[in-house]
Amino acid sequence: MHANELLDVVFRWAHLIAGIMWIGNSMLFNWLDRNLIAPGPGASKLSQGKIYMVHSGAFYEVEKKLLEPGELPDQLHWFKWQNFTTWATGICLLVVVYYMNGAAFLVDPSVRAMGQGEAIAWSAGSLIAAWAIYDAIWMTIGKRAPGVATALAFVLLFAAAYGFTLVFSGRAAYIQTGVMIGTVMTGNVWMRILPSQRSLIAATKAGQAQDETLSLRAKQRSIHNNYLTFPLLFIMISNHFPSTYGHHLRFYVLAMVMVGGAGVRHFMNVRYAGRMWMGPALGMAGFAIAGLMILTRIREAPAVTVTDQVSFARVQEIIQARCVQCHSAKPTDDQFVVAPNNVMFDTAERIQAMAARIKDRVYTNQTMPFLNKTQITPQERAELGAWVDQGAKLK
């Protein structure tokens, strides 16, 4: 295994584990908050509610409450490293997969031709800018008019995602949007939510009331994070789906999935207020799925159509000329020294076995050859598509 691939595996694995722990914790606490049994008469004034649960062989009795002044326990558990580890391994992955290797996955010359340095500067710079702008909006406008701040943040988020599709390769534009969201979420945790918890602890120790504004701000930021989780999780898996990021309407596909995902989260949130939720939540899921199903079917008119019978000899000729540089047991490409995804076209059987994917990637989505590095022509794409439509025969 090459060093680059090894780093990819290690960071991806850690990223997944940390991400499950972070989002899992945050969902559990959300759920706890919404299922608390309100304190009855005679309960302490500091109590905010109780809950009983059964898990792993016994009962749990959990009470949410403020503490008496000076009552701080010796051992207090925080939940912050799960978030930090998710973000840090995510940034490492961004570097290993998108920045290294000549930024091959970051840049698509047909979107915008630029060098590795310029591409990395755009990517890293926009992450810093995103946090600065988002935070500034909520520290200024957000204080007086949260509705306006929400609308503005929403527009800017989608403007940024759209901007990324004009600068980066489709796949990178999706991931860049995801890293941006993850960075904002992590900024919220470390810059706004944790300080509020520290002030709560300090106030409890000193026997004073906590500064309300800090606590409200923390709550607001944690609601933002809550809404961003579902869209972000889709983006994390999006690079498995070339028909989304490879599509010419890729921004609109992403926008619909993000709105649908956040909508599902919204109705899962309000369900505990006793409001109707299942129908609307399914509706929002349907909206996201419509984005995936309907938009990705809109095709640009094919440049060429082939109606003649295409022989297998012709198919092999095209694949020899345009694909085996990468997809072979011994690739000759300068960047891909092992066959990507273990897809090799060295034998007729291998080509035939991959026929459906070949049509998808080369003809329908046009996401292969990778960045069209081997300069396949529209005629050749159409011929490969026609061969698959004609039954992908070996003659």
**Minimum distance of ligand HEC from residue 339's CB (angstroms):** 8
Rounded to the nearest 10 degrees, the angle between the axes of helix 212-237 and helix 170-187 is: 160
- For residue 168, give the amino acid letter: F
Please work out the total of residues on this chain that contact ligand HEC, with binding judged by CB under 6 A. Answer: 24
Supply the DSSP symbol for 271: G
Q: Rule CB under 6 A: is residue 326 a binding residue for ligand HEC?
A: yes
The residues with which 58 forms a beta bridge, in sequence order, are 55
Residue 146 preceded by cis peptide, ω within 30: no
Task: Round to whole Å and give the CA distance between 131 and 125.
Answer: 10
Q: Rule CB under 6 A: is residue 162 a binding residue for ligand HEC?
A: no
- The correct pick among 358, 386, 388, 392 for binding ligand HEC (CB under 6 A) is 358
What one-character-per-residue DSSP string does 51-88 give? EEEEETTEEEEEEEE---TT---S------HHHHHHHH
Q: Rule CB under 6 A: is residue 373 a binding residue for ligand HEC?
A: yes
Q: Rule CB under 6 A: is residue 327 a binding residue for ligand HEC?
A: yes
CA nearest neighbour of 366 among 110, 24, 140, 21: 110
- Interface pattern 114-153 for ligand HEC (x via CB under 6 A): ----------------------------------------
Taking CB under 6 A as the binding criterion, the range among 173-181, 263-271, 306-314, 366-374 that sits at the site for ligand HEC is 366-374
- For residue 122, give the amino acid letter: W
Task: Round to whole Å and give the CA distance between 147 and 153.
Answer: 10
Cβ-based nearer residue to ligand HEC, 178 or 369: 369
Task: Round to whole Å and give the CA distance between 263 and 376.
Answer: 41
- Interface pattern 229-248 for ligand HEC (x via CB under 6 A): -------------x------
Cβ-based nearer residue to ligand HEC, 188 or 367: 367
**Minimum distance of ligand HEC from residue 261's CB (angstroms):** 23
- Positions that interact with ligand HEC (CB under 6 A): 242, 319, 322-323, 325-327, 333, 336, 340-341, 343, 354, 357-358, 361-362, 367-370, 373-374, 376
